[in-house]
Structure 1
Amino acid sequence: MAAVAAPPSSDTLDRIRLELATLDQISDSEKSGFVKLVGRYLSGSAEQIVWEKIQPPTNELVVPYDDLVPVSEDSSEAKYLLDKLAVLKLNGGLGTTMGCTGPKTVIEVRNGETFLDLIVKQIETLNSKYGCNVPLVLMNSFNTHDDTLKIVEKYQNSGLQVKIFNQSQYPRMVAEDLMPWPAKGQTDKSGWYPPGHGNVFDALQNSGMLAELLAEGKEYVFIANSDNLGATVDLKILKHLIHNQNEYCMEVTPKTLADVKGGTLISYEGRVQLLEIAQVPDEHVGEFKSIQKFKIFNTNNLWVNLKAIKRLVEADALNMEIIPNPKEVDGVKVLQLETAAGAAIRFFDKAIGINVPRSRFLPVKATSDLLLVQSDLYTIEDGLVIRNPARTKAENPAIELSSEFKKVADFLKRFKSIPSILHLDSLKVTGDVWFGSGIVLKGKVIVEAKKGEKLVLPDDLTLEDQLVTVGPTYSSL
């Protein structure tokens, strides 16, 4: 749960209000939203989870995907459903962790196509196939807005509606006294932050985008991270929600050992609720990480009823758990308060989870993920990233690349071509390693270049259960 930085103090909030009044970079609604967030943080009003009350969710609360009723082959049903839908991609993140500038959505995934190109192609194909008009909505941050405006110009003649709005812009607080940093002279971008994707609901309302979508007859919005290549429109899910009048649905998928820190859905006092690791008492963290007890985790693919968003935002009822995020920027210790959209599940009526196949969770957070989607494990068709059926194992290979591969540009130049990894279990690459073309990797492979030395793997090499070191020398694992 959120830790309290200082005792509740109306004086602190009054001082924050006075400082905010001097800033003209943000709107009055952003200022009031920020003050409310800080006030909740200072009050320590977060509800404590009583561990003994946690129950595993039933199949009514977390519905198995295989229980969903298919949509009929008659395209009129699909059109009926899709005409009620808008697709919203969270587009506030920069590609800095992968060595890129600008929005992460412009990173090339494969064959010269970016995340955004693939998303646009997916929705264009749906609209063309069923004669519907699903719009693409991008929630930007102040970091990505200007670049995104230029990028989407290329889709002007595509026939697809691309709508853009910004999430809120909040001031970072100086940790020492919790005063807004921009009011102390830090007026460039580093003085501000986007307050997490939990802000999507307020931002939809404050920007006018919510009213616009409702006026167009839209009833549901499918919200997903822009870098999750598995987050595509699913007609079975949409049909289930409309038929059962579920106001909110979170897609969850079975946990693996790589996902043990991910938030999970629980039954709590008869309602479905998201449990994050930060809410777990220290003595139960090991239990939380167990994939035997907590078997599913949040993919952040969310389906939400638009009228329900309007009702709850207007009632000021979406008080999601606060995530304090301390940072050091330009030598100054600052604090930013954030919320997550998944935590809103407990405020909606008839909220459910759906336990979806792992294929709907394919995020690209690092170049190791990029290697997977650029490889022969996947093909791309109409913007959809489709897993190769020749891969017999359910799990993807575990890929670990050293810092030499961290930036996309460095990653790409170190591969003449992406190796075949259809029969790979794990790959660990360390040091100044370069891959030739036509390489095939199988089983467990470790490639190590010793410090100060360069290792070039020749073209058309096959490695199976081998350790490769400078030389190159090969030994079996």
Structure 2
Amino acid sequence: MGKIKRKDSLSDFKAITRSSALECLSLHISKLIETAKNKEEVALELKRFEELYHRFLVLQDSKIDWRKIQPPEQGLVHNHESLDDPPLERATEMLNKLVVVKLNGGLGTTMGCTGPKSAIEVREEMTFLDLTVQQVKWLNYTYNCNVPLVLMNSFNTHEETERIIGKYKGALVQILTFNQARYPRIDKETLLPCASDYEEDDSEWYPPGHGDIYFALKYSGLLDSFLKEDKEYIFISNIDNLGATVDLKILNYLANSDCEFLMEVTNKTMADVKGGTLISYEGHSQLLELAQVPKNHVDEFKSIKKFRIFNTNNLWLKLKAIKRVLAKDDFDLDIIVNEKRVKGNQKIIQLETAVGASIKYFNTAKGINVPRSRFLPVKTTSDLLLVKSNLYSLKHGGLLMNPERPFPEVPLIKLGEEHFKNVQHFLQRIPNIPNIIELDHLTVTGDVTFGFDVVLKGTVIIVANHGERIDIPSGAILENKVITGNLRILDH
């Protein structure tokens, strides 16, 4: 009986603590609103943050029940190859009802760059944004249609993106922008916002993940505007995914079925073990992210045997369905608690949501198992080496696999963070991308540089020990080799 009393007492204590935290938060937010220039708009935005924070406190102790997780139900995921191409006249009709949205809120800081990630040069002196505009421009020209390109920016990328898109005027592409929300970071110790002024110190604020796109579309006025223009479909993807082009087969399936939500998934490899996956949970389709997995089940989640597919974050939805879902009071996306350390080693929390987590709110949601070619993200310089290489050719802003590649899988590339994380250092160390047509696996760590016209085949591992340097000479052909700090070359 005593144990029960102690348990009840602990529950009461937590309830009191959370109640106090919410009260303090309300006061803090009121003060933040007073510091804002546009008080009405900021009040609406911070109200959404307060609701997210409230759910975070209430759900702190609730964990996903691992025993209830099941593979996707039969029929939930369709193969891309089973879908039909539409006739030309039907393609133009559907494209005129399509809106293409690119998630453009990220900075290039993880690759040592400043400004929007979309401004990083990828191939032939063209940036992610250049390639995206080229894709939509080709689409409009080829099919005589009017597909707008819409960029969801963050407060970090908005100003620079607005400056850049000026150069695309007259490019057969209507480019629109809107901003996602701006939420205050939370001090992990006090559970209170770090920010004290809405207009100052951007470092105390963060964009709350791409799940914010639904409310951002609504409050920007674009959702209603598109519906008035008789737009019916929306394709959402990350701007750094060079494989995320408009696919007429998927659009045709969306338009001619009762599906309201399609998520592109693809087969998981060892390079994708952290990607979110589709599951069945308590009778509903759901997206499971790594951050939601109990620590003792992380290895199981990463297994490519149990969870064989992952979310590419290429999503297709019907606009009327989005409007209907947003009108309900129960549209609460799963919270992703992102813990970080910032200036002075301060521990902070960012409450975020994922766009794909909305799958459970739509009628007849499906997954489409697409070829790996539709998932070509560039998160690191290892990815950058891949998309810059002769493994791909550029066509209408999209990347096509070189037909000389003997197998469809892309090589696994791992470049050491200390010497290759920064794009500038990467380009200095690899001024000429090696021929990797026959490469399976490349690992490079330490102080390593590459000459011109290097050919890599099979598995190549190059490790320069601390204080040593390895220079791969121009014209070198490395096939199934291990090169160590003392320059010994061994058969692998």
TM range (shorter): over 0.9
Report the alpha carbon displacement of residue 22 of structure 1 after superposing the two structures with TM: 2.7
Matched, 1:7 2:18: yes
Deviation larger for 60-69 or 150-159: 60-69
Matched, 1:354 2:389: no
Q: CA deviation digits over 1:66-86, x for unaligned, max 9? A: 2212222xx211101111111
Report the alpha carbon displacement of residue 185 of structure 1 after superposing the two structures with TM: 9.2
The match for 1:475 is 490
The match for 1:378 is 392
The match for 1:447 is 462
The match for 2:161 is 148
1:284-433 matches, cutoff 5 A: 284-331=297-344, 332-402=346-416, 403-433=418-448
SS in 1 for 2:438: strand
> Contact 1:141–1:169 (CA<8 Å) still a contact in 2?
yes
1:176-195 matches, cutoff 5 A: 176-183=189-196, 187-195=200-208
> Contact 1:22–1:183 (CA<8 Å) still a contact in 2?
no
- Using the alignment, how far apart are the partners of 1:392 and 1:276 within structure 2? 33
SS in 2 for 1:420: coil
Match of 2:53 among 38, 57, 63: 38
- Using the alignment, how far apart are the partners of 2:413 and 2:191 within structure 1? 41
The match for 1:461 is 476
The match for 2:34 is 22
Code of the aligned partner of 1:56 = P
> Contact 2:36–2:198 (CA<8 Å) still a contact in 1?
no
The match for 2:11 is none
> Contact 2:141–2:172 (CA<8 Å) still a contact in 1?
no
Deviation larger for 28-37 or 46-55: 46-55
Label 1:61 to 1:262 Cα distance change in 2 as closer, same or farther (>3 A).
same
The match for 2:248 is 235
> Contact 1:19–1:179 (CA<8 Å) still a contact in 2?
no
Label 1:453 to 1:49 Cα distance change in 2 as closer, same or farther (>3 A).
closer
Question: Higher helix fraction: Structure 1 or Structure 2?
Answer: 2
Report the alpha carbon displacement of residue 55 of structure 1 after superposing the two structures with TM: 3.0
Code of the aligned partner of 1:11 = E
The match for 1:257 is 270
> Contact 2:389–2:436 (CA<8 Å) still a contact in 1?
yes
Matched, 1:135 2:151: no
Label 1:185 to 1:319 Cα distance change in 2 as closer, same or farther (>3 A).
closer
Label 1:283 to 1:411 Cα distance change in 2 as closer, same or farther (>3 A).
closer
The match for 1:61 is 76
The match for 1:87 is 100
Label 1:328 to 1:285 Cα distance change in 2 as closer, same or farther (>3 A).
closer
- Using the alignment, how far apart are the partners of 1:14 and 1:416 within structure 2? 54
Report the alpha carbon displacement of residue 28 of structure 1 after superposing the two structures with TM: 2.1
**TM-score, normalising length: structure 1:** 0.94
- Listed as ranges, the gaps of 5+ residues in structure 2 are 1-13
- Using the alignment, how far apart are the partners of 2:198 and 2:32 within structure 1? 12
Report the alpha carbon displacement of residue 13 of structure 1 after superposing the two structures with TM: 4.2
Q: CA deviation digits over 1:171-199, x for unaligned, max 9? A: 11222333322227993110111001010
- Using the alignment, how far apart are the partners of 1:448 and 1:474 within structure 2? 11
- Using the alignment, how far apart are the partners of 2:191 and 2:300 within structure 1? 35
> Contact 2:419–2:446 (CA<8 Å) still a contact in 1?
yes
1:105-120 matches, cutoff 5 A: 105-120=118-133
Give 4+ residue runs of structure 1 displaced > 6 Å after superposition.
none
Q: CA deviation digits over 1:64-120, x for unaligned, max 9? A: 212212222xx2111011111111000000000111100001111111011111111
Q: CA deviation digits over 1:320-344, x for unaligned, max 9? A: 1111222232223322211111111
- Listed as ranges, the gaps of 5+ residues in structure 1 are none
Label 1:382 to 1:445 Cα distance change in 2 as closer, same or farther (>3 A).
same
> Contact 2:36–2:199 (CA<8 Å) still a contact in 1?
no
> Contact 1:428–1:446 (CA<8 Å) still a contact in 2?
yes
